[in-house]
Amino acid sequence: MKVIDLRSDTVTLPTDEMRRAMAEAEVGDDVYGEDPTVNALEELAAEMMQKEAAVFTVSGTMSNLISVLAQTRRGDEIIVGSEAHVFWYEVGGASALGGVIVHTIPNTTDGRLEIEDLEKAIRSKNIHNPPSTLLCLENTHNRCGGAVLDVKYISAAAGLAHRHSLRVHIDGARIFNAAVALKVPASELVKDADSVSFCLSKGLSAPVGSLVCGDRDFIDRARKYRKMVGGGMRQAGVLAAAGLVALRTMIDRLAEDHRNARLLAEGLRLIPGLVVADNVPTNIVLFSLPPAVSGDIFVKEISSRGVKLSPRGGQQFRAVTHRMVTSDDIDEALSRVDACLRSLR
Q: Shortest gap between Cβ of 316 and ligand TLP (angstroms)?
A: 14
Q: Does the footprint of ligand TLP cover residue 5 (CB under 6 A)? A: no
Residues forming beta bridges with residue 276, ordered by sequence position: 287
Q: Shortest gap between Cβ of 158 and ligand TLP (angstroms)?
A: 18
Q: Shortest gap between Cβ of 102 and ligand TLP (angstroms)?
A: 15
Residue number with CB closer to ligand TLP (123 or 323): 323
Q: Does the footprint of ligand TLP cover residue 171 (CB under 6 A)? A: yes
Of 62, 56, 49, 53, the residue nearest 30 (C-alpha): 56
Exposure class string for 112-149: b at 16+ Cβ within 10 A, else e: bbeeeebeebbbeeeeeeebbbbbbbbbbbbbbbbbbb
Interacting span for ligand TLP (CB under 6 A) from 23-31, 47-55, 57-65, 331-339: 57-65
Interacting span for ligand TLP (CB under 6 A) from 58-66, 152-160, 230-238, 289-297: 58-66
Residue number with CB closer to ligand TLP (122 or 212): 212
How many CB atoms are closer than 10 A to CB 187? Answer: 16
Q: Shortest gap between Cβ of 85 and ligand TLP (angstroms)?
A: 4
Residue number with CB closer to ligand TLP (173 or 341): 173
Secondary structure (3-state) at 54: strand
Secondary structure (3-state) at 232: coil
DSSP E strand boundaries for the chain: 4-5, 53-57, 77-81, 101-105, 132-138, 167-171, 195-199, 210-214, 275-276, 284-288, 307-308, 310-311, 316-320
Q: Shortest gap between Cβ of 231 and ligand TLP (angstroms)?
A: 12
Q: Shortest gap between Cβ of 341 and ligand TLP (angstroms)?
A: 24
Q: Which residue is nearest to ligand TLP (CB)?
A: 60
Q: Contact, 223 vs 211, CB < 8 A? A: no
Please select the residue that binds ligand TLP; options are 12, 61, 195, 283, rule is CB under 6 A. Answer: 61
- C-alpha distances (whole Å) from 152 to each of 20, 22, 141, 188, 295 are 41, 39, 16, 10, 38
What residues from 111 to 170 belong to the interface with ligand TLP (CB under 6 A)? 138, 142
Residues near 342 by Cβ (< 8 Å), separated by ≥ 6? Answer: none
Residues forming beta bridges with residue 198, ordered by sequence position: 211
Binders of ligand TLP: how many residues, by CB under 6 A?
Answer: 15
Q: Contact, 28 vs 165, CB < 8 A? A: no
Q: Contact, 333 vs 322, CB < 8 A? A: no
What's the one-letter identity of residue 40?
A: A
Q: Does the footprint of ligand TLP cover residue 210 (CB under 6 A)? A: yes
CA angle 59, 62, 65 (to 5 degrees): 150
Q: Shortest gap between Cβ of 78 and ligand TLP (angstroms)?
A: 15
Residue number with CB closer to ligand TLP (201 or 321): 201
Q: Does the footprint of ligand TLP cover residue 237 (CB under 6 A)? A: no
Interacting span for ligand TLP (CB under 6 A) from 54-62, 116-124, 148-156, 221-229: 54-62
CA angle 303, 111, 327 (to 5 degrees): 40
Q: Shortest gap between Cβ of 140 and ligand TLP (angstroms)?
A: 7
Q: Shortest gap between Cβ of 292 and ligand TLP (angstroms)?
A: 28
Q: Does the footprint of ligand TLP cover residue 6 (CB under 6 A)? A: no
Q: How far apart (Å, rounded) are the C-alpha atoms in residues 330 and 332? A: 5
Residue number with CB closer to ligand TLP (71 or 122): 71
Residues that bind ligand TLP (CB under 6 A): 8, 10, 59-61, 64, 85, 89, 138, 142, 171, 173, 199, 201, 210
